[in-house]
Amino acid sequence: MPSSPRTRQRGHIAMHRAHRFAALLVVASILAPAPLQAARDVPVVAAASDLQFALEVVAEAFTAETGQQVRLSFGSTGNLARQIRAGAPFEVFLSADEQFVLDLHRDGHTLDAGRLYAVGRLVIVRSGDSKLIADGSLADLAEALADGRVSRFAIANPEHAPYGMRAREALQQAGLWEAIQPRLVLGENVSQAAQFAVSGNADGGLVAWSLTFAPGFMDRADVALVPESMHAPLRQRMVRVKHAGAVADAFYEFVAGAAARDILARYGFVVPGDE
C-alpha cells in the first residue's frame, strides 16, 4: 500500500474543499504549457493527468536540487502518446498505463522501453451534496442506480484515458456498465473527471487516488479505494523520447530517485519496491 497516513486508507477518506480543488484544476490547465511554446533549453515533459499535483512537487524538487527546469504538459495518456507519434516536442513521457509506452518503443519513438515509476489506485468519489455513498465495492452505486439516487456519474474517457479504462473494468466487474451508460459524464482526462465529480456536475465518479491528495481537495466529499481485484493494475511507466537532451535525461533519472519516490508515495502511488 502507499506510504500515506493510514487514517486516509480506512473506509471513507475525508478530504477538503471541492470548489477550491476545481479551481486549482482550471488554473493548472490554463497554465499548463503547450509543447510548441517551450523554450529550446527547457524540455517539455508529457505527463498523465493523475500526476497533475504530484509531478509539480517533483519538478520543484528537481529544480531546487539541480537548478534546471522542465515544463509539464498534462493530458490523457492516450492523447499524449498520439501527439508523440505526430512529432510533438516532448522529451520525457510519464504514462498512466505502461502499454502506451511499450507500444511507442515498439514503433521506434523512444530511446528504450523506459521504466516503471509508480502504480496508481482507483477511487470512488462522492460530491458533497450527493446521496451516493463512497463504497469501494460499488455496491451502493448499484443500489443508487436502481433507486434513482444517481443522475450523473463521472469517469475519464475510456477510449484514451487509462483511469477511464480501469473505471470501465470496475463497473463491468460490478455488473453496472450497461446500467450506468445513460448517466455517464466523460472527462477528457482523469483530472477533468475528478473536477466533475466534486464540483456538483456529477453525483460522484471513479478517479485517481493521487488527485485526492491535492491541497484543499474538499471538506464535503468522501472517497474510498476500489479493490485492485476489480480492474487491471495501473502500472505507470515513463520513457525518454528519441530526441531527449541532457536536462530531460537528468529529470528522468530524478523521477526514479529516492526524493521523487517519496513525493509520489505521499500522493498515494505505490512506487517500485513497495509493490
Supply the CATH number for residue 92's domain.
3.40.190.10
Residue 13 lies in a domain: no
Q: How large is the average pLDDT for residues 72-80?
A: 98
Question: Residue 200: what pLDDT?
Answer: 84
63 assigned binding-site residue: no
pLDDT-wise least confident of 116-125, 197-206, 229-238: 197-206
For residue 21, the model assigns a pLDDT of 54
Highest-confidence segment of 35-49, 159-173, 190-204: 159-173
Please report whether residue 151 resides in a domain. yes
Provide the domain limits for residue 72.
Answer: 31-119+233-266
The predicted pLDDT at position 150 comes to 95
66 is in an annotated binding site: no
Q: In Å, what is the CA distance from 119 to each residue of 81, 122, 228, 265, 269?
A: 19, 10, 11, 10, 6
Q: What is the pLDDT of residue 214?
A: 84
Mean pLDDT of 128-142: 93
pLDDT interval class at 17 (50, 70, 90): very low
Predicted confidence (pLDDT) at residue 92 exceeds the cutoff of 60: yes
> For the chain, what is the mean pLDDT?
88
- Whether pLDDT at 11 is above 90: no
d(CA 81, CA 95): 8
> Do residues 239 and 115 both lie within one domain?
yes
Q: Does 54 share its domain with 190?
A: no
- Whole-number pLDDT of residue 40: 57
Q: Which of 60-64, 123-127, 228-232 has the lowest mean pLDDT?
A: 123-127
DSSP-derived letter for residue 110 is: B
Task: Specify burial of residue 186 (Cβ count, 10 A radius: 0-12, 13-18, 19+).
Answer: middle
Confidence check: pLDDT of 6 > 80: no
Residue 212 lies in a domain: yes
The pLDDT value recorded for residue 22 is 52
* Percentage above 70 pLDDT, the chain: 84
Q: Are residues 38 and 88 in the same domain?
A: yes
Helix (H) or strand (E) holding 204, with range, is strand 204-208
